[in-house]
Amino acid sequence: MHLGWLCATGWECAVVSIAFLGGTIIQGLAVLNYPEYVFKRWHVTLITIAIALFAVLFNTFLAKRLPLVEAFVLILHVAGLFIIIIPLWVLAPISDATTVFAQFSNSGGWSDGTATMVGLVTAITAIIGYGCTVHMSEEVRDASSALPKPIMSAVTLNGSMAFVVLVTLYFTLGNLDEVLNTDTGYPFIQVFYNVTKSYPATNAMTSIVVLAIISSVITEVATASRQL
């Protein structure tokens, strides 16, 4: 019984964690666009609540539209890959392969092994989202044979796309210290701006990420509701 409640609570916490991620990215854009903006932690709390509340209301009143939204986000997800990487490859100074693949930098204060293991958390977190599919299985015919195919297809597609984005960012990163110490809190936002030199372009490229995250919150709420 206790394990069941822990699982249910875990999925509810996942909803908030993804909403928090989206909120901090939105706040990072505010920092970039408005230098006079004073960063406050409670601001991101309110943004997180707004995103989570939107997801709950969507699942309450527009649940039948969820497949349509997911189809739209899938198109945006794939198209967004090219919308992001093409400007980076075209506009950014390209680092040489030796710098990208043979030069390592660890400024975190921990050993390389510890830093590597901590860094894996991000990749693992992205992968566990595929478990949402299983929790929706009661609404799928022949779930045992129908679900594994989209799960493995999603892993293959997203893994390949993530690798392309990863390599692209490595080659177009620019000054590592500047990117890591950005006031936005997110190095990728700073990379977008350094490459494009345009606030609208940076906002548009980052908005693709934000929309994908908000859609993840919506589907996460749908999944978490099946745990109760």
Of the candidates 17, 48, 12, which has an alpha carbon nearest to the alpha carbon of residue 135? 12
Whether 119 maps to a domain, the answer reads: no
Q: What was the pLDDT predicted at 141?
A: 80
Percent of the chain with pLDDT over 90: 40
pTM of the full predicted structure? 0.88
Assess if residue 110 is contained within a domain: no
Q: How far apart are CA 138 and CA 186, in angstroms?
A: 38
Q: Is residue 121 part of a domain?
A: no
Please give the radius of gyration of the chain, using alpha carbons only, rounded to the nearest integer.
19
Check residue 96 and report its DSSP letter: P
Q: Tell me how many domains the chain contains.
A: 1
Q: What angle do CA 163, 179, 182 make, to 5 degrees?
A: 130
Among 205, 121, 115, which residue's Cα sits nearest to residue 165? Answer: 205
pLDDT value of position 1: 56
pLDDT digits (tens, 9 = 90+) for 51-92: 999 999 999 998 888 888 888 988 999 999 999 999 999 999
Kindly state whether residue 168 falls inside one of the protein's structural domains. yes
Structural domain including 200 reads 1-93+127-226
Q: Is residue 104 part of a domain?
A: no
- Tens digits of per-residue pLDDT, 169-218? 989 988 888 898 899 989 999 999 999 999 999 999 999 999 999 998 99
| 20 domain-assigned | yes
Whether residue 9 lies inside any domain: the answer is yes
Whether residue 114 is contained in a domain is answered as: no
Rounded average pLDDT over 92-117: 84
